[in-house]
């Protein structure tokens, strides 16, 4: 499919980028032999991919999935997960640095897979979970806007079983999404969670029969999204994020209604097109967002 991008897609080694239909980006983590575990270069590659996606006006929705039939992503590739500057000859974190700081310096500012700390992205990201979503893999899905999962998918934050912590945004999101006591149980036990339980907890939107069905189901949702104004989608997501991040609903609403996007939104072509197409009783013709 030929798409006239403003900037060409970034070159990739650990992910495959495809465009299953206009305006939709499909990101496939392509390390199936390692259950799609991510090494450090892969985090920065995904950071670059999401940076490009956020800035590319031709793309309105992204889907992220894993290659193969076993795993979405099982987290950090621990065999190649740290640089020589982080570990000393005994295999411990360098005593010259604060432990947490040493680890976090190895990740992009946007966090695990370039998304777990990405709090200002206003384009939708859908997770198509085709198997195991463990550790950092679950942190990815917690950072996505919509989650589709195969029935046999397994989720967990098992970091405590290895003496570490889900410190790339997973814990902070989890408690806001499912509540304090339930978050504590999952974080303290590190137990596996089924797709059905995740759906009951509100962490999964849709369950499909097999791994083969997750991307088509995600594409169906993405296709429904791109029928709508990309400006309205961005402005809507901003309001949802403000509500998630702000201490009060009043403060969230104030930020939403006075944001830079709010000041521009009603002067955009897409706003005018939405009103005009309604009056003329026709399907709207949306343009790429300039917000």
Q: What strands, in cross-sheet order, belong to the sheet with 193-194?
A: 71-73, 132-134, 154-156, 193-194
Structure token pair of residue 234: 């961005």
Question: Hey, what's the torsion of the CAs at 230, 234, 236, 239, to 10 degrees?
Answer: -170
The partner residues of 26 in beta bridges, in order of sequence, read: 18, 63
The pair of structure tokens assigned to 87 is 């570990």
DSSP summary character for residue 11: P
Q: Which residues are catalytic?
A: 139, 159
d(CA 18, CA 47): 17
Residue 177 CA from chain centroid, whole number: 15
Do residues 229 and 77 make contact, with C-beta atoms less than 8 angstroms apart?
Answer: no
Task: Measure the CA–CA gap between 115 and 5, rounded to whole angstroms.
Answer: 22
The length of the chain in residues reads: 291
Q: DSSP letters along 231-270, please?
A: HHHHHHHHHHHHHHHSSSHHHHHHHHHHSHHHHHHTTSHH
């Amino acid at each position: 499919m030929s798409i006239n991008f403003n900037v060409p897609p970034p070159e990739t080694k650990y992910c495959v980028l495809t465009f299953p239909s206009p305006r939709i980006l499909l990101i496939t983590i392509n390390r199936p032999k390692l259950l799609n575990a991510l090494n450090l270069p892969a985090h920065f590659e995904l950071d670059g991919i999401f940076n490009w996606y956020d800035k590319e006006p031709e793309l309105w929705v992204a889907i992220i999935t894993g290659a193969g039939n076993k795993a979405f992503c099982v987290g950090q590739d621990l065999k190649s997960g740290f640089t020589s500057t982080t570990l000393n000859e005994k295999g411990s974190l360098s005593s010259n640095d604060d432990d947490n700081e040493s680890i976090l310096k190895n990740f992009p500012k946007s966090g695990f897979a370039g998304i777990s700390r990405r709090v200002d992205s206003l384009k939708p990201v859908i997770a198509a979970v085709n198997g195991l979503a463990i550790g950092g893999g679950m942190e990815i899905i917690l950072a996505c806007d919509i989650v589709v999962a195969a029935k046999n998918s397994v989720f967990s934050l098992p970091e405590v079983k290895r003496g570490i912590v889900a410190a790339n945004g997973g814990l902070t999101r989890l408690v806001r999404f499912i509540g304090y006591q339930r978050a504590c149980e999952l974080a303290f036990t590190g137990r596996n969670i089924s797709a059905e339980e995740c759906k009951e907890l509100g962490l999964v939107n849709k369950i499909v029969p097999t791994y083969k069905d997750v991307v088509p189901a995600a594409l169906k949702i993405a296709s429904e999204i791109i029928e709508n104004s990309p400006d309205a989608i961005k402005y809507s997501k901003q309001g949802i994020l403000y509500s998630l991040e702000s201490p009060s609903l009043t403060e969230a609403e104030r930020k939403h209604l006075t944001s830079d996007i709010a000041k521009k939104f009603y002067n955009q072509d897409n706003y005018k097109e939405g009103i005009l197409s309604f009056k003329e009783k026709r399907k709207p013709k949306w343009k790429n967002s300039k917000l």
